Amino acid sequence: STALVLFRRDLRLADNPAWSAACAAHAQVLPVFIHRDDDGPWPDGAASRWWLHHSLAALGKSLRDAGAGLHLRRGEPLEILRALITSSGASAVYWNRLYEPATIARDKHIKSALQGDGIAVHSHNAALWCEPWQIATQQGQPYKVFTPYWRNLRPQLQATGPLPAPRVPGWRELPGSLPLAALELLPRIAWADGLAVSWRPGEAGAQELLEIFADDAIGDYAHARDLPARHGTSRLSPHLHFGEISPRQIHAELDRRARSIDAKRRPDIEPYLRELGWREFAHHLLYHFPRTPTDNFNPRFDDFPWAPADQALLERWQRGRTGIPLVDAGMRELWHTGWMHNRVRMIVGSFLTKNLRRHWQHGARWFWDTLVDADLANNTLGWQWVAGCGADAAPYFRVFNPVTQAKRFDPDGVYLRRWLPELAEAPLGLLHEPWRDAGLLRRSGYPAAMVELGESRQRALEAYGALAR
């Protein structure tokens, strides 16, 4: 019998439950990717599209090496699947689940339509340790706080089980596959050079990063993960988002290596697993609270007096021209590489929502377009956390001070100098607060600070105080 396997954001052959199940049960498997132009309220941003193009190229090559090929299409998934079922004689369709509210609704519709046609539909979990609906509080409710969530999930995790890439039983080419370029995922203007030197999308690129991280950085992760100048984190986030690697694979590999090292020097992998736990928690929240990509989790913030939208001001933030070095360094890192260090994400987010008092949605949308790891669950959690309106969020009154943060986490100014070439020669004392020397600003062309940090913080606290009353 023949099965179609619909690839979406599970762009790998190893530990891919839908792909393995189809290969085990059918004589012929036909891998398909369907790109939808009109993909719900959160269509992929420009950086994600760049990534997807290269990831599909990598998957296509892996499939060819394995004796199959990736059938590429563009349009309405149900229509295309039905046409492919007719032309191939397939009796079953396999896919791995996604968790965005609009995608869940669409998948349910496709599943019941195909089942109505007499086709078997098999959906699997490739992305998460645990399905969002499989974990609940003692009262049977979804979790809203991370620590008890993690206390429940962590003991259930096992460091075993990732599936090897299966042997392809049989494959034949179906007519009508598009060339990859016809999906038009790449930008028309070549702005993505910085992305190309920073990343290698695809399953092999993900495994390579995991090895680098496991060889070296994992041992110092608890400390170095806060230092933006260092490669102290795994940088696996875009690979995880596109399903080029799974949490199960990461866990198994880190555990295997840790066990091979004698107990005294064995790295503690728990702090890293906990971060993957936040990713699970973000998916749990998105599943149970599907309106949170746009609505405040905490409705008290519906009355918050955000300052009115101001495009010019927003653009200064987006382009890294606020005059606050750590904020600008982060925003430029994002623009050039499609990624920003987690601590700096928190700081640029705090600056936007507190010092500039702009709605967190402005930040979430910009991140959505520019991050290669843009992920509806993680981005929503991150922005609601920073703005103080989320589940288990930083309280609004905790305003990050970008100067103190820079002095603490980039004490030698390595990160600031890397992304702010105008200030490369500035002495360390001024690098953190360049506004203290008007001559330096004039000579370097670096902008004056767009707000005074202490005063804008005070105004944010007053706005919050009014809300609290």
Known binding residues for FAD: 221, 233-237, 272, 373-375
Distance (Å, whole) CA 227 – CA 298? 31
Position 423 contacts ligand FAD (CB under 6 A): no
Map 252-279 to HEC letters.
Answer: HHHHHHHHHCCHHHCCCCHHHHHHHHHH
Query: Which single residue is written with the structure tokens 């790109």?
Result: 35
The smaller minimum CB distance to ligand FAD, of residues 168 and 236, is found at 236
| Residue 360 bears catalytic tag | yes
Buried b (16+ CB within 10 A) or exposed e, 289-319: bbebbebbbbeebeebebeeeeeebbebbbe
Position 46 contacts ligand FAD (CB under 6 A): no
- Which of 360, 366, 385, 419 is labelled catalytic? 360
Contacts of 24 (CB under 8 A, 6+ apart): 166
Question: What is the x/- site pattern for ligand FAD, positions 278-297, by CB under 6 A?
Answer: xx--x---------------
Q: Nearest Cα to 41, choosing from 329, 311, 364? A: 364
Position 383 contacts ligand FAD (CB under 6 A): yes
Position 128 contacts ligand FAD (CB under 6 A): no
Sign (positive or negative) of CA dihedral 22, 23, 24, 28: positive
How many chain residues touch ligand FAD (CB under 6 A)?
A: 28
Residue from the set 381, 391, 393, 441 that interacts with ligand FAD by CB under 6 A: 381
From the annotation, which residues make up the binding site?
A: 221, 233-237, 272, 373-375
| Residue 51 bears catalytic tag | no
Query: Which single residue is written with the structure tokens 């001024």?
Result: 430
Question: What is the x/- site pattern for ligand FAD, positions 212-231, by CB under 6 A?
Answer: -------------x------
Position 361 contacts ligand FAD (CB under 6 A): no
Phi and psi angles of residue 28, each rounded to the nearest 5 degrees, phi first = -140, 135
| Residue 42 bears catalytic tag | no
Residue from the set 195, 276, 334, 352 that interacts with ligand FAD by CB under 6 A: 276
Stretch near ligand FAD under the rule CB under 6 A, chosen from 57-65, 147-155, 275-283, 311-319: 275-283
Amino acid at 195: L
Position 233 contacts ligand FAD (CB under 6 A): yes
Distance (Å, whole) CA 415 – CA 331? 12
Contacting residues toward ligand FAD, per CB under 6 A: 225, 233-237, 240-241, 275-276, 278-279, 282, 342, 345-346, 349, 367, 371, 373-375, 378-379, 381-383, 386
